[in-house]
Structure 1
């Protein structure tokens, strides 16, 4: 098989594996290059491995073939080759960057030891190795500080509490998951975590990691208060991995810039998943990554109609604890603007909450906590962007029935 015909995919995460599998089904020769030593896995389920609910092999992804192992260190666009760290050179007809993202490591004093290594007991939470190392360190009663109260931090705090750790969650902003949830939904998430034994601190900025002997002992807050810690988990978000693209001279903004054909500034190179920036948006979520992979597979197979025009993505999270599962979903704009119609239904006893935002007779967003029976109907109304029949009755019907789901 000549290199002119081969698609080379760099990255064996959700997007890369999905694309390679689709191309294999279409009979298109593909080489998947993965940097991690583990077989491809579903990163979305790492918190379940940390919680002890799943073994690592349960979250494995079905791949068309075992990925080629190795870290790609360079792209030669003129020769259409990629070079791995061991010196191996692979030719390509089309190259796909599915390099994903790296954890954001906050600029805290004392975070790095000599050689830019994290102190013992301080863990990022992005890869399966991170998860396994953290899992090995957790034991009942261990004092743990999770820094970051977004989706990843909330998931990590719940998982660690399930393992019996004494968890403090430190969130810099005024509420949990503030980018995805409205204040009422955030409050319910905090109440649930508190019920699991997690101590939640919002508007709380960590400024120092103390590890006098190379092992973390405490973290210091901006107000001078110190939290004793045997473990520290960094859950401060992710940043697209764009180093390869930048070094190759491709257009890079926050992510690798792509068009509706998922092409970079080099027409022979594409990008999908967490590393890609389409129409100004870096999604960093599973659903857009999978949609991009499917669209690119169709494009590479020669479908003239195939395009990627963006994803209207719904965020869904299930937290499982001793008190039973806690479900939430959010989509679109969860905060209304002046003139919007906002409908809320709350049941404090059951801990459920439903809210939708309607603008000019169209559903533009919503958030549901505790009972997701209506999420399918609401998501369809939102994704279709069709005018609602009228405010009031039909909308209330969507909020209070399962819509046939």
Structure 2
């Protein structure tokens, strides 16, 4: 049967995935599609409204409620004439018929299919972690979704001891959240340092000491071999390779994620580490299918952070509406979201001081939880670790983002007292305050907001990792104290 060719049908866009990438894409599309040329349907496997996954650790710690991390209210979709269907899982893609099949047996047609399926938690093959059905055991949890977070919160009163497998971003955030609730937590990590992909050895040591002071014990170079129960009737626990037994009422698995490429691979799309896309975020196999976020691989890179996903969402929305935007990759800045820890890492970090073409600035004060390292090549910041360096992290990040020349007195990158402090009122309008959303100081000043919440609602600043909240507040304060000439 031939396909209809009227405009309304030709422009059907189906989004599979209602996470941070999928929800942002729909917003970006509607902001460009003022004439409503596109019919948009969103299928989300989770039953929740769109929420900020980055802030799940704050919910676990009790700092925020689930409602407070909602990013796109469900009412927005109705107002923007977008069909949102939550709790719907897709079983297969029919590329020939341009439709997807849901697990309920329904066919949903598309003209452009946007895959924003994200990643799934990886559970290592350790004895006792999963049952016969391959699912995590009763006392084993992953920390990936709001449902995972709620499940842990529901059993907090029965948890005295917890072990977190994995000392990366997610593992440390989960561990800190549980410790903040009074749980005795240990992190088991197989590498010689925490966050080994982002930190050098010295920074990892300082971070481990900081975590210990916050109630999280860290075990490095440690390998788990079995999760079991019944040690003399003493409950469940984790056995390590060296024979150490750790008590655990709950085992949290945070050993990394894998891009969710199941649908794409089964449909014959090119996949490597993830779904291979071009500069327009379009599958290199099928021009009617696109991928963004953690399930997309561009130029050999798969980004597991929110800022690149949002950049990709904007590029795809622009490309589908006839715009010129193309994705050229992202300069990644990793921020750890854990109460009591202020950490940002970017670019090349594990650089030896003896490399002839690199300047390496370094300052460490482990007792105060401070470790700062800046790598400079050709008068440009090419990498940095800023642990406990809240005063200068903004300036260093800006220099890294823009590949701008560093100051002649390099000490100003680490010690804010070396250079005169910059009054928020003097920050230039083109200074990027919120990296996640690309919001400048000028845009914040011009939005007319009086509170951080109003700025967030108007510009989206602070709605990503939240690390710019203090800077936004300072801008608002400086604006309110500036005298207006009569």
Q: Same fold (TM over 0.5)?
A: yes
Q: What are the equivalent positions in structure 2 for 1:352-391 lying under 5 Å apart?
A: 352-388=370-406
SS in 1 for 2:50: coil
Which residue pairs with 1:30 in the alignment?
Answer: 40
> Pick from 247, 262, 268: which aligns with 1:249?
268
5+ residue gaps, structure 2, are 1-6, 78-82, 428-470, 472-486
Which residue pairs with 2:295 in the alignment?
Answer: 275
> Pick from 78, 87, 112: which aligns with 2:130?
112
**1:39 offset after TM fit, Å?**
1.3
Structure 2 distance, partners of 1:316, 1:196, is: 18
Q: What are the equivalent positions in structure 2 for 1:5-404 lying under 5 Å apart?
A: 5-27=11-33, 28-62=38-72, 64-65=76-77, 67-69=84-86, 70-139=88-157, 142-211=160-229, 217-264=236-283, 265-303=285-323, 305-320=324-339, 325-337=340-352, 338-339=355-356, 340-348=358-366, 350-388=368-406, 393-401=408-416, 404=427
Please say which structure displays the higher CA radius of gyration: 2
Structure 2 distance, partners of 1:379, 1:197, is: 29
CA distances 1:22-51 after superposition (whole Å, capped 9, x unpaired): 112223432111001111111111111111
Structure 2 distance, partners of 1:185, 1:394, is: 24
TM-score, normalised via structure 2 length: 0.78
Identify which range, 152-161 or 105-114, moves more after superposition.
Answer: 105-114
**1:91 offset after TM fit, Å?**
1.4
Structure 1 distance, partners of 2:215, 2:384, is: 29
5+ residue gaps, structure 1, are none
Structure 1 distance, partners of 2:383, 2:314, is: 25
**1:76 offset after TM fit, Å?**
1.1
TM-score, normalised via structure 1 length: 0.93
- Following TM superposition, the consecutive aligned residue runs of length 4 or more in structure 1 with deviations greater than 6 angstroms are none
Residues matched between the structures, number = 396
- Higher helix fraction: Structure 1 or Structure 2? 2
SS in 2 for 1:146: strand
Which residue pairs with 2:454 in the alignment?
Answer: none
Q: Quick check: 2:195–2:204 contact (8 Å CA) kept in 1? A: yes
Structure 1 distance, partners of 2:60, 2:406, is: 43
Structure 2 distance, partners of 1:216, 1:249, is: 47
**1:3 offset after TM fit, Å?**
3.4
